[in-house]
Every structure is written in structure tokens, then in C-alpha cells.
């Protein structure tokens, strides 16, 4: 029996790689769709033609894609630079170097800037191998431009590659795919294949032909890549391509700090919330990377769409997205600045177009402006709030607002607001006789937006934002013109208990006998109490409600009885059993109900009783 030597030892062993397995795993891991193989092969053909153009300025080049349905074969032809036998062996058979490695014999990692300056797309040396996602066998025939000997390169599912001579004499390359059964039907359907090619290569500057047709299938030229586009033609082209009429078109062409070329547009499609992601189509060297690139457009402008050529940005290995690096972030900042500049220009020089954008995307822009100062500055003069004096911008609201310097020492200006839609009409009545407006911030974000806009302006004038109700300092005195309020007597508080409100007495304008003010937290408490009695609230949620509103139990709605009004004055002089007392209680309940206050069953019963008593009194019954 041989003894095992347990002493320390070492030796060098080679990696053992299952090439076929690696290629299969690479395709599945890198590419989300098999159509990507078509894009990679067109990309290789494009780069070969670009290299040919570098040595022959009269040469144009073309790419032909040919379907051979009977044979189950798909072919990609180009008349580019071609390959020699040495190049085919060195680069086509080495995963990770590929065509890009032909640039002066450099590895692609060191050839990036040269590749970009030459207008080439290929980068990772894996494009050809993506063909195995859709093919069982790949054959490449090629002839280099300055060589008279053609070559043939063939690879299948095994680990060996067959490289041989070929009788091809014309410069260029043909990649022939023997399609796998699962991909044969759609790749040999002319309409489906044309759609795939156009989705990736519609803007390539090299013409692409399908099945030796006489007309190219890719557009090549587009107004949105033109540095000086015809505005009307550009708008029509965008409307046709994206199948919607833009509210505005924003051409973007700059060379620093990174080249950007293309056009964005404001979509008429409303976005439902503040968190929708912005998407845009991006090309690199005119090859479409994705039609849904996120993070380039700022979140506040998710209604912006378009096409951008970003040659400085780096695609991911799968070429289905862009790498989120410093260049990407810099380009995103440039785009955001261009969008701001466009909106600011429209606000100053084309107000009707700006207003159409603002009206269409009001919630998105206003919601985002709460946290974005530059957007807030723009909207402070353009976003119009509903007020007691009609629609006004924040600038106009501030200009119209003031305060009483005798009583106000801390603030030079007070802006009044109301967030309860139910109280709009009564608040409008209070403010109608003066020049100071009250802002109705009835949309959930408007109160925060107004507060942020006012905070931006406080450096010039100390301003306070106050809710329009009796509890706010100065409201009764300056707006209602009430000198003093006092609680009603215990007798009248008890008589009006069904109103479930604090009853106050005051003298003010004599055309309103009763004025009611709702307390939002009180109303919520009443609503939750009703749900609790009905058993509609889960126990855990009820405990949260109880903790949150525990300190609000003492809060109540408020009702002002105008002692300057004849009916109120006469009623208060009489006992609570008189008909006028019932009329007064009827007015109190109606004032609260008119604002949508939550009323108890007792209030409805009291209301009916008062109506009966008034009717009897009018008919002379005791």
C-alpha cells in the first residue's frame, strides 16, 4: 500500500473551461432578450464598415440581412474592412477581445477613447458569441480589404473552432447563423425581423437592407439629431414617431462637458403621482441602447420623453442600459439644467405654451417644487392658487397681503389660507370686502408649497402664514372686524348642545346672523368615533387612532352668534322655549351642516323638532 506524503506541497494546474457552457451562461446572464443577438451582429458589421471608411474616404458601405427560410439560416453581410486569417484566429476565437481588439492590436480596455473617436460601437469582444443564443452553429466568411485570400471560421456547440481558407474575394464579412428550432419562426419572419432591426438600428448612419431589397429599412436621418432642426418638421416627426402631440419640443445639442445631441418633448400624458420614473430613448453612436433609460431625466420631469445621442456614456456589458458613473451623472445634470432653461424661457416669452404645460402637469410640478428651490422660484410667479379674490400667483398674493402694524410687531405681512374645501364659500364672504386675499390650499400639497414659497421670500419681508379661523391671531380683529368674542351663557350652551360646538357671541357685519367654523381634527375624531361604533376599524388601528387623537378630544367646531343681528339679539333676550330660540338653533345647525360637519343623530332629531315647533308657532298653536 502506497503511503501518502502529508508534508507541505504545491503545484500549478490550468483552468479547465467548458467553453460551450460558458457561452450559454453568458448569453442568459447578459442579455434579457434573444433579439439582442441581432443587434450585436449589426453592430459588428457597422464597426467593420467604419474601419473601412477610415482608409477609403470615397467608400460608403452597407449592411444586408438575408433570411434563407428553407435552410433555417439567417445571414448578416457587410462590405467593411474584413478579416485576415491571423485576425480571425486571434480575435474571433478569444472571448473578451473581439473586433475592438483590432484597433492597432490593443485590448478594448485601452482602446475606448480611440473607438469612440472613430464612431465605433463594439466594446466588449463578446458580440459574436451572443449569436449562440439563437443559433446552433455560426459560420463567418471574410476577406480583408488588402488581402486576396478569404477565410472561413466555424463554431458549434463543442469547444473547437474550425478555421480554413475560403474562395471569397470581395472585401467584407458574412456571418451565417444556423438557427435553433426555438428561434427559427420569428427570425425568419420578414416583418418581425425588420421591426427588431429598426428598434435597435433605425438611426445608424449606414444603410441596412433586408433580403436584398432596393430600399433601406432604417431611417438614418432624423430631425431630432440635426443641430439646427426645422422646428415645425421636428414637432411633426416627434408626433409621428411617439404617436402623441407634444406640448413643447426641446432640442438639446451641446459639446461640453460631454456631447449630447437629440430632442426631448413634453408629453400630454398625465403622470398619476409624484414618484413616476422618467424614461427616454438613448443611442450611442446612433445604436439604440434602450427606449426606457431611467435617471437621465430628473424625477420632477417624468412627463418628458425623447431621443438622445450620448456618445460619451458607457453601455453596460449587455448594452441594454448605461453605466451609472460620473459621466452619466454629469450628463443628467446638464439635461436638468436644459429643461429648467427651457421652462424659464417659456415663462418669460411664451406664456401660453408654459401655462399649457403647467395646467397639464400641475400636480407633478407643484409637488416637486416643495423640495426643489429652482422649480419653486419658477412657480412662485406662474403657479396660480385659488383664492377669495380669484386665481393668484404667490408673488401676487404676497403683494396683496399685509397686516395691522398697530397690533403686529413681529411680522410685516400675514398670508391667510384655508385648507378645508367645505369652508371656501364662507371664507370668501369674510375676505370679499377687503383687498387681502385668502388662499384656498385645498389640494394636499398646496399648503406645503405655499409655505415653502413664502419662506423663500422672508428675507425681504417677515411673513407669517396663518389659518383662517377664530383661533388664529388677528383673524377675528382684522378680517371679521370683531373686537371681542365671549362664550354664550350656560343656558344657551345647553340649549345648543346638539350642535356639538363651542357657542360664542360677537358683534360683526349685520347681514350674517350665524357663522360656523369647522375644526378639522374635531371632524376626524367624530368620523372615527362613528366608525368605531359601527365596528369598522380593526383593533390595532383603533389603538393608533386613540393615541394620535387623545389630545384632540377637547377641540370643537365653533359657532359665532352675531349679536348685531336683530334676530339673534331678540332670540337671546327671550327664554330658550320661545319660537325664536328654535329658529336660532335651526340656523346654527344649518350653518354647521352647510359646511359638511359630522352631525349626531340627536342633531337631526332636534332639527325636526324645531321645524315642528316653528310650524306650530306660525299657525298660532301653543
Residues 188 and 301 in one domain: no
What pTM was estimated for this model as a whole? 0.78
CB 474 within 8 A of CB 404: yes
Distance CA 529, CA 523 (A): 10
Residues 159 and 77 in one domain: yes
Domain of residue 266: give its range: 223-338
Residues 120 and 256 in one domain: no
Last residue of a domain, one of 477, 502, 529: 477
Which residues are paired to 417 by β-bridges? 439, 467
Q: What would the DSSP string read from start to end of 477-495?
A: IIIS--S--EEPPHHHHHH
Strand 73-78 with 248-254, pairing: unpaired
Residues 6+ away with beta carbon under 8 Å from 585: 495, 496, 498, 499, 606, 610
In the chain, the number of structural domains is 4
Q: Flag residues of the chain having pLDDT under 70.
A: 1-7, 11, 14-32, 93-127, 158-159, 271-277, 459, 520-537, 539-555, 598-604, 620-622
CATH code, domain carrying 591: 1.20.120.790
Residues 114 and 192 in one domain: yes
Residue 321 lies in a domain: yes
Residues 506 and 457 in one domain: no
Residues 105 and 249 in one domain: no
Residues 417 and 272 in one domain: no
Residues 312 and 397 in one domain: no
Residues 249 and 315 in one domain: yes
Residue 605 lies in a domain: yes
Residue 595 lies in a domain: yes
pLDDT at 125: 53
> What value does the CA radius of gyration of the chain take, rounded to a whole number of Å?
38
Residue 358 lies in a domain: no
CATH code, domain carrying 276: 3.30.230.80
Residue 171 lies in a domain: yes
Residue 528 lies in a domain: no
Last residue of a domain, one of 450, 477, 504: 477
pLDDT at 121: 53
Centre a 10 Å sphere on the Cβ of residue 549 and count the other Cβ atoms it contains: 16
pLDDT at 153: 93
pLDDT at 433: 83
pLDDT at 274: 47
CB 99 within 8 A of CB 50: no
Residue 248 lies in a domain: yes
Residues 191 and 59 in one domain: yes
pLDDT at 556: 79
Residues 492 and 469 in one domain: no
Residue 448 lies in a domain: yes
Residues 202 and 333 in one domain: no
pLDDT at 558: 87
Amino acid at each position: 500500500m502506497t503511503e501518502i506524503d502529508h508534508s507541505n506541497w504545491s503545484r500549478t494546474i490550468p483552468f479547465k473551461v467548458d467553453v460551450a457552457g460558458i457561452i450559454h451562461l453568458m448569453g442568459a446572464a447578459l442579455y434579457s432578450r434573444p433579439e439582442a443577438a441581432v443587434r450585436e451582429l449589426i453592430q459588428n458589421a457597422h464597426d467593420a464598415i467604419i474601419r473601412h471608411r477610415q482608409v477609403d474616404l470615397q467608400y460608403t458601405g452597407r449592411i444586408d440581412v438575408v433570411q434563407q427560410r428553407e435552410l433555417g439560416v439567417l445571414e448578416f453581410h457587410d462590405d467593411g474592412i474584413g478579416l485576415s486569417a491571423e485576425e480571425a484566429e486571434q480575435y474571433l476565437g478569444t472571448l473578451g477581445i473581439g473586433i475592438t481588439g483590432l484597433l492597432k492590436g490593443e485590448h478594448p480596455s485601452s482602446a475606448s477613447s480611440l473607438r469612440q473617436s472613430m464612431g465605433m460601437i463594439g466594446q466588449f469582444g463578446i458580440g459574436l458569441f451572443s449569436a449562440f443564443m439563437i443559433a446552433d452553429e455560426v459560420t463567418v466568411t471574410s476577406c480583408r480589404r488588402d488581402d486576396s485570400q478569404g477565410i472561413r471560421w466555424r463554431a458549434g456547440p463543442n469547444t473547437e473552432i474550425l478555421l480554413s481558407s475560403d474562395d471569397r474575394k470581395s472585401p467584407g464579412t458574412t456571418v451565417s447563423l444556423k438557427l435553433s428550432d426555438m428561434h427559427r419562426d420569428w427570425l425568419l419572419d420578414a416583418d418581425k425581423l425588420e421591426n427588431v432591426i429598426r428598434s435597435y438600428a433605425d438611426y445608424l448612419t449606414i444603410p441596412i437592407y433586408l433580403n436584398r431589397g432596393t430600399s433601406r429599412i432604417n431611417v438614418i436621418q432624423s430631425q431630432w439629431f440635426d443641430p439646427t432642426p426645422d422646428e415645425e418638421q421636428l414637432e411633426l416627426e416627434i408626433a409621428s414617431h411617439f404617436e402623441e402631440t407634444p406640448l413643447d419640443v426641446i432640442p438639446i445639442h451641446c459639446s461640453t462637458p460631454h456631447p449630447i445631441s437629440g430632442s426631448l418633448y413634453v408629453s400630454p400624458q398625465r403622470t398619476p403621482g409624484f414618484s413616476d420614473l422618467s424614461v427616454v430613448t438613448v443611442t450611442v453612436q446612433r445604436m439604440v441602447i434602450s427606449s426606457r433609460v431611467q435617471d437621465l431625466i430628473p424625477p420632477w420631469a417624468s412627463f418628458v420623453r425623447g431621443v438622445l445621442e450620448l456618445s460619451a456614456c458607457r453601455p453596460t456589458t449587455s448594452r441594454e442600459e448605461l453605466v451609472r458613473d460620473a459621466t452619466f451623472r454629469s450628463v443628467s445634470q446638464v439635461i436638468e439644467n436644459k429643461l429648467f432653461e427651457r421652462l424659464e424661457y417659456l415663462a418669460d416669452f411664451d406664456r401660453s405654451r408654459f401655462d399649457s404645460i403647467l395646467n397639464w402637469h400641475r400636480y407633478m410640478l407643484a409637488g416637486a417644487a416643495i423640495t426643489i428651490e429652482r422649480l419653486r422660484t419658477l412657480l412662485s410667479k406662474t403657479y396660480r392658487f385659488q383664492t377669495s379674490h380669484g386665481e393668484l400667483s404667490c408673488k401676487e398674493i404676497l403683494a396683496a397681503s399685509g397686516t395691522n402694524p398697530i397690533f403686529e410687531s413681529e411680522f410685516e405681512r400675514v398670508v391667510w389660507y384655508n385648507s378645508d374645501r367645505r369652508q371656501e364659500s364662507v371664507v370668501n364672504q369674510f375676505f370679499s370686502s377687503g383687498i387681502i386675499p385668502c388662499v384656498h390650499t385645498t389640494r394636499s400639497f398646496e399648503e406645503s408649497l405655499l409655505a415653502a414659497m413664502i419662506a423663500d421670500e422672508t428675507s425681504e419681508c417677515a411673513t407669517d402664514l396663518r389659518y383662517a379661523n377664530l383661533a388664529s391671531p388677528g383673524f377675528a380683529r382684522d378680517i371679521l372686524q370683531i373686537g371681542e368674542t365671549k362664550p354664550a351663557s350656560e343656558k344657551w350652551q345647553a340649549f345648543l348642545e346638539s350642535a356639538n360646538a363651542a357657542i360664542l357671541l360677537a358683534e360683526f357685519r349685520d347681514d350674517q346672523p350665524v357663522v360656523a367654523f369647522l375644526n378639522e381634527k374635531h371632524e376626524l375624531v367624530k368620523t372615527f368615533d362613528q366608525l368605531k361604533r359601527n365596528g369598522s376599524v380593526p383593533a390595532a388601528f383603533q389603538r393608533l387612532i386613540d393615541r394620535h387623537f387623545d389630545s384632540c378630544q377637547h377641540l370643537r367646531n365653533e359657532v359665532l352668534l352675531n349679536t348685531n343681528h336683530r334676530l339673534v339679539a331678540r332670540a337671546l333676550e327671550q327664554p330658550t322655549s320661545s319660537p325664536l330660540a328654535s329658529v336660532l338653533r335651526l340656523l346654527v345647525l344649518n350653518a354647521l351642516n352647510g359646511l359638511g360637519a359630522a352631525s349626531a343623530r340627536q342633531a337631526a332629531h332636534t332639527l325636526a323638532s324645531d321645524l315642528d315647533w316653528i310650524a306650530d308657532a306660525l299657525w298660532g298653536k301653543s
